[in-house]
A = this chain, B = another copy of it.
Amino acid sequence: MAALGEFELIHRYFAAAACAAPVPGVARGIGDDCALLQLPPGEQLAVSTDTQVAGVHFPDRHDPFLLAQRTLAAATSDLAAMGATPVGFTLALTLPQADPAWLEGFARGLDVMARACDLALIGGDTTRGPLNINATVFGRLPAGQALLRSGARPGDLLCIGGPTGEAAAALPLVLGERDPNGEGDGELLARYWTPQPQLLLGQALRGLASAALDVSDGLLADCGHIAEQSAVALLVDAERVPLTAALREAAGERALQLALSGGDDYVLVFTLPPAALPGLQASGQPFHVIGRVAAGSGVRVLDRDGRDITPAAAGYQHFGGPDGQA
């Protein structure tokens, strides 16, 4: 009865893009007042919400195809950090106008990352306003097996799922402060725009890792959450922090600093009882041991001689401002 507004058309566009095939855990997707999720007995649902704001988390000038991938990956990384198996997501999209080219690119990028993560779009809300994208993601896992931040114990190994610092090193490229030059810069940009949530690693860590989270605010800052919630100290061996060739090339002497205090990495950091090491190695998932857990508090970086070389400012504030996630 009501004429279809342009935003209603957007809704239909994404609804059509939503996975029509039956998805385990999704009893009803888009199209009614609520979506309905249903899990097998004995499973829990992991839920996380993440907002990306133009001018804060990404530049006003951006490629919507890449932005959509980055937005969904950033949210889904929290599922990986709990060891959850992805189920679906809701998308709340606030747009200044309905630009068909932007929407087409965004929907395409969303589809790429949703398929890569095995996530179904189950609901959404489209509103007019300054560009703001919220994704709330849902995953499932056996009750009691979620990877928490609070279980690290002295003697555990400190591990990371992949190199950090590349997304931070990409910022001058993302902001247009310098032009990409060569293969290395392409790698940096890919790490910034299309991070791949470490879902398989997270699932492999269930029953093995004593604590885990994903690195979004910088390795040291996020290690601080484990240290605080587990009431332990985390000691990082600077020499063992992986630095990629692309990062070394772009950042030179600042490579280690970016790897420690950059952000937007979306790799998992976790603690592992030494007895669990062979089991994790057998999984074939990539990881690096970068330090250990000790009694005490806080996060310290040690050089090869055991001297404390912890940088003074460890936090990361994206490029436009700080935020906090619960």
Contact = CB atoms under 8 A, between A and B. Distances in A.
Contacts of A323: 5, 7, 125-128
A205 B47 CA distance: 28
A46 B149 CA distance: 28
B49 A123 contact: yes
Contacts of A34: 46-48, 78-79, 81-82, 84, 139, 146
B224 A2 contact: yes
Contacts of A310: 1
Interface centre among A8, A30, A217 (most CB of B within 10 A): A8
Interface centre among A124, A220, A229 (most CB of B within 10 A): A124
Interface residues of A, number: 97
A244 interface: no
Interface string A301-326: 00000000010011111001111111
A2 to B, nearest CB: 3
A94 B44 contact: no
A326 to B, nearest CB: 4
A33 B81 contact: yes
Interface centre among A10, A32, A46, A227 (most CB of B within 10 A): A32
A274 to B, nearest CB: 24
Interface centre among A46, A214, A298 (most CB of B within 10 A): A46
Main secondary structure of the interface of A (DSSP, over half): mixed
A204 interface: no
Given A7-B322, A221-B2, A37 B47 contact: yes
Interface in A67-99: 78-79, 81-82, 84, 90-92, 94
A172 interface: no
Contacts of A44: 27, 36-38
A233 B10 CA distance: 26
B325 A126 contact: yes
Contact of A39 (B31, B39, B322): B39
Given A32-B148, A56-B128, 4 more contacts: A5-B324, A33-B213, A126-B326, A130-B130
6 contacts: A27-B143, A33-B48, A53-B94, A124-B325, A125-B324, A127-B323
